[in-house]
Amino acid sequence: MTTPRSQAEDDDRRTRGMVSIAVPSGKVTRPVFGRHGFAGGALVVDWPAIVGSAVASHTLPVRIKFPPQDRADGTLVVKVASGAFALEMQHLEPLILERINGYFGWKAVARLKLVQGPLPQPVRRPKTVARPAVTTAAPSTLAARLDSVEDPDLRAVLERLGRRLTNS
């Protein structure tokens, strides 16, 4: 027979306030990343920091294939956006391998396998242009500011613009 939990035990299990999403998301993503050879997905998340933003904008790590019963000397499968950049990646392979293995702390990856294909588009938020705050000026203030303008056509255009800005 189970004993009912006390109020104090229930309070200990509850979280107070805000909790970082990174803590519970690791529990959700670990099985998915684990199937592709990424332990916890840190390589995917830190990819731009490891290889640099210029390389990361054209590439995406897909999976790591390790030899049976071994977690070293694996093959990292990298998706590359174009054939031209795949050639660049072949030239950069020794440097990229050094950076990846330096990130892991051991010789986790021995070679790169490049696969050409489209990369997922990053989520971009539309840029909103902030309108400058317009103070409503009295018509007499607007006329006073335009007294120094000598050209009558320019003065008329600026006056119309000023009226339109103060009315909107």
Whole-prediction pTM: 0.52
Residue 139 corresponds to which tokens in the numbers above? 């018509």
Where are the chain's structural domains? 26-116, 136-168
What's the mean pLDDT in 62-67?
Answer: 86
pLDDT tens, residue by residue, 114-135: 999 988 877 666 777 666 665 5
User: What percentage of the chain exceeds 70 in pLDDT?
Assistant: 66
The predicted structure's pLDDT at residue 36: 45
- Most confident of the following: 24-38, 116-130, 151-165: 151-165
Are β-strands 74-80 and 59-65 bridged in parallel, bridged antiparallel, or unpaired? antiparallel
Question: Quick one: pLDDT band at residue 147, thresholds 50, 70, 90?
Answer: confident
The distance of Cα 105 from the centroid of its chain, to the nearest Å, equals 25
C-alpha closest to that of 56 among 64, 47, 69: 47
The answer, yes or no, to whether residue 155 has pLDDT greater than 60, is yes
Q: Is the predicted pLDDT of residue 86 greater than 80, yes or no? A: yes
Q: Is 67 exposed, middle or buried (0-12, 13-18, 19+ CB in 10 A)?
A: exposed
As a whole number, the mean pLDDT across the chain is 77
Helix H segments across the chain?
A: 7-13, 22-35, 42-45, 47-51, 53-56, 83-104, 139-146, 152-167
94-103 pLDDT per residue, tens: 999 999 888 8
Amino acid at 98: E
Cα–Cα dist 102/99, whole Å: 5
Domain 26-116 has CATH 1.10.3470: no
Overall average pLDDT of the 49-56 stretch: 90
pLDDT of residue 8: 56
